[in-house]
Structure 1
């Protein structure tokens, strides 16, 4: 892959023009791929269904997707660089063997190259095609999430993800497996074993998805291991409560930053004592350059499993505990949400799903409801463990 300097900021990036279904692209290994319908767009990258070139059309069950960007953009180049340096198949397989894992949630890289269209050059990357994003899995009674395994691997190989959110966590055919995707913001925090210095850069302020990004990222500090874990914590809170206290003011970065700082100083004001609170308390004490002890974080969550007489069996259900026994919980239908909310004593909760209500309650009321929701969902989270 020719080395192309990434653009210095979003203002210099451009969206790729749309590829027509059936267009043929050829990767560096001379393999031909047929492009299907578009399925997503974001960060100046377009995503299409894809498969090896054949006489048939590309359907929704296509085994692969292709990410496309103008060759002078950057995110796909960054992701390719990450895979070439830190996620080679032999590296991943060795890690799985030495850490005695059943799998590690990385999508398979199939190929990449440059494609000329109408006098313009486009970079592309072929990856596995996955199913629902995590939030959708959660709403359909999710089975598992093993994000911490993936983060430990990434961090041990000198990189941080830099963009964790529900839409980057997807399931595959096995409902007990979840994969972390999209390394377009991956950052090599420790090249050749030398950790980058903590330094604020106003040009980088608020990088990432604003509701989940770390406090350091709001201040323009380069991504870090604690930053990844902090971002994951915000995701966990939203998955359980359906709402983050700063979600109503995402157009005001200063408000979002100040809110996160305020809640970080007093985590109890964001949630009652539970495994997420312990997780967040542990993460906030991590130094920018500290070598994270991932087993300690796992132990925090395992204590919750032990407290309800369960264990890590690899099949982690979103369930509630009722009279000492497990009871399956499905949250896809509003009717059942209302029934469960009544049982939990907060009948008027409007934030049990990520879809914003047209009658959003005030932030103070939302926070109180979120606190109550975390209290009642604490046993559920114990089955929502990040290993």
Structure 2
């Protein structure tokens, strides 16, 4: 009898959360500012919420070109509420607009928060949030291009992400989960990229007072294991230097196809120790990534600059931009605001051997608190035109995964958007 009771307890986490019921097209929701929104057809499901096309023009039916999406979850669930904290504090359209003008930017790749509220139907309460609509994610582009991006594109993405991270950091938050699958192209402009999924966003400096460095064994290895920072491997809450370290790993992988520790992602201690060794000698690290030579000097300089940062230091974003811009110049390219994903011939690194299917030795993808090493994410099903398809996604290690980014499923007339589960989050500060 005792063993049975024990087994039953293991499943208590996900069982307590409810799946969202599907609303019919035309359902009207009223947000906290008394603005009304009309739901269109559902275009995806993530975690325990549904994603709908939406419009603020309630007299008319919501068409396929609707500019917004609305995520709806049962109000008893916590994931959407957690992410709302970031959007309500840091992603209001007027805040983003003021920043763009003050920095003389053409755009800023932070999704805008348009509204949220509670909705009652059939005696049940639901929480909803209104967001921008996006297109396909960069992980799909990366895989379509043979797991490599051209150097010019990588440096352009790095520059856009420095803009994004500087804004987020200036508003007291860090992202903690930068990666290709959390970067979405604009629905209307394929040359604009947005960083989504703030399920791990952490308020590192509430009221301007930075959190102190503190290791917590319960938080070890939070995030996406191949990219997460050395701090995260030690159980330290996310920081600005951690976001930039993660960005560096992403750019290096985009250039050379894989990182040296990707052969043993199921072992988080091995991954952590590999990153520590690589940080101790960045030039050798780059040689291990670009085994045919041609290691880009700007990435060595970028990682060396990040290495100098202390936990609470404010990064020199201008210097980091200068490093990437110099890389563009040495490559004979300019930042022309066009994102070209086509990979030219000519090797920059040895093509990586194929990784084992992520379905083997897989940890659960459920939203539960668990041991640090949930090794690889199982094959997930995506809907394309109503048909479920199985695909293998990037490996991650997480504690709890309440959130998915907003993106659209593929249809004959629109790009893909899907909602992706976030990794385990450090304790948030309200």
Length-normalised TM-score, structure 1: 0.73
Partner Cα distance (2:348, 2:93) in 1: 50
Q: Structure 2: any 5+ residue segments left out of the alignment? A: 1-11, 288-294, 360-430
What's 2:274 paired with? 259
Count of aligned pairs between the two proteins: 325
Of 13, 17, 39, which residue of structure 2 is paired with 1:14?
A: 17
What's 1:310 paired with? 333
Partner Cα distance (1:209, 1:25) in 2: 37
What's 2:396 paired with? none
Note closer, same or farther for the CA distance 1:211–1:347 as it changes in structure 2 (3 Å cut).
closer
- Residue 243 (structure 2) pairs with residue 228 (structure 1): yes
The offset of 1:350, in angstroms, is 3.9
Note closer, same or farther for the CA distance 1:214–1:25 as it changes in structure 2 (3 Å cut).
farther
Written as runs of structure 1 = structure 2, the 5 A alignment for 1:1-387 is 11=13, 14=17, 16-22=19-25, 24-26=27-29, 27-28=31-32, 29-42=34-47, 45-52=49-56, 53=58, 56=61, 59=64, 61-116=65-120, 120-138=124-142, 139=144, 145=157, 146-172=160-186, 173-272=188-287, 273-274=295-296, 275-315=298-338, 317=340, 329-330=342-343, 340=345, 343-344=346-347, 349-350=352-353
Of 307-316 and 97-106, deviating more is: 307-316
Partner Cα distance (1:347, 1:305) in 2: 22
* Higher relative contact order (Cα pairs below 8 Å, separated by 6+ residues): 2
Secondary structure of residue in 2 paired with 1:195: coil
Partner Cα distance (2:350, 2:310) in 1: 41
The offset of 1:67, in angstroms, is 2.3
Note closer, same or farther for the CA distance 1:218–1:266 as it changes in structure 2 (3 Å cut).
same
Length-normalised TM-score, structure 2: 0.67
The alignment's C-alpha RMSD in Å is 3.1
Secondary structure of residue in 1 paired with 2:136: coil
Is residue 40–residue 62 contact of structure 2 (8 Å, CA) maintained in 1? no
Partner Cα distance (2:125, 2:203) in 1: 27
Q: Structure 1: any 5+ residue segments left out of the alignment? A: 1-9, 319-328, 332-339, 359-387
Is residue 34–residue 54 contact of structure 1 (8 Å, CA) maintained in 2? no
